[in-house]
Each structure stands twice: as C-alpha cells, then as structure tokens.
Amino acid sequence: MYDEKDLIYSPLQQKYSADGKTVEVFIYRLPDSGWTLEIVDQYDNSTVYDGEFATDQEAFDLFLEEVESEGIEAMIGPAPGL
C-alpha cells in the first residue's frame, strides 16, 4: 500500500502566471501508476483532472491547451466565504 511519501513529482510542476493571475501546477504519480494533473489557485481551490496521463509532459500540455483556450481565469475558483 502506498501513501503520500511515495509520490513521484514531475520536474514540470511549477507556478504558472498569465494575465496577472497565478496557479500552481502539480503533476505527480504513485509508483506503477499514470500521472495526475492538479491545479491549485490562490484561494487553495484544487482541481484534479479525471483519469491518468501516460507522461508528465502530456499532463502539462493539456494544462497549457486549456489556458490557451479558456484562459487562466477559468482555473481560479471562488474566494473563501463566497
């Protein structure tokens, strides 16, 4: 059984800024599994994408495509208390 200390983090993981907004891009996996893509905004809202990715680059490319098509604002949830 694996736990959080077994997570493998991608070197593509980073803070990403566009249009004056910043989100954190987390790409990680457990041993023997695919990559997971998670986006965390400045309010600590987390979006974890469904399914697994074959490579960390595939996960990051999807993130970039979504920023290009929808804008970074679409990845930012409500402020606390709203």
Asked if the structure places residue 19 within a domain, the reply is yes
Asked if the structure places residue 24 within a domain, the reply is yes
Asked if the structure places residue 53 within a domain, the reply is yes
Q: Determine the structural domain holding residue 10 and report its residue range.
A: 4-72
What is the per-residue pLDDT across 49-82, written as a single tens digit (0 to 9) for each? 999 999 999 999 999 999 999 999 999 999 887 6
Can you tell me the distance from the alpha carbon of 2 to that of 7, in angstroms, rounded to the nearest whole number? Answer: 8
Specify the number of domains making up the chain.
1
DSSP string, the chain: ---GGG-EE-TT-EEEEETTEEEEEEEEE-TTS-BEEEEE-TT--EEE-SS-BSSHHHHHHHHHHHHHHH-GGGG--PPTT-
Tokens 């074959």 belong to 54
What is the per-residue pLDDT across 19-31, written as a single tens digit (0 to 9) for each? 999 999 999 999 9
> pTM (2 decimals)?
0.90
Residue 1 in this model has a pLDDT that exceeds 90: no
Question: Looking at residue 5, what is its pLDDT?
Answer: 83
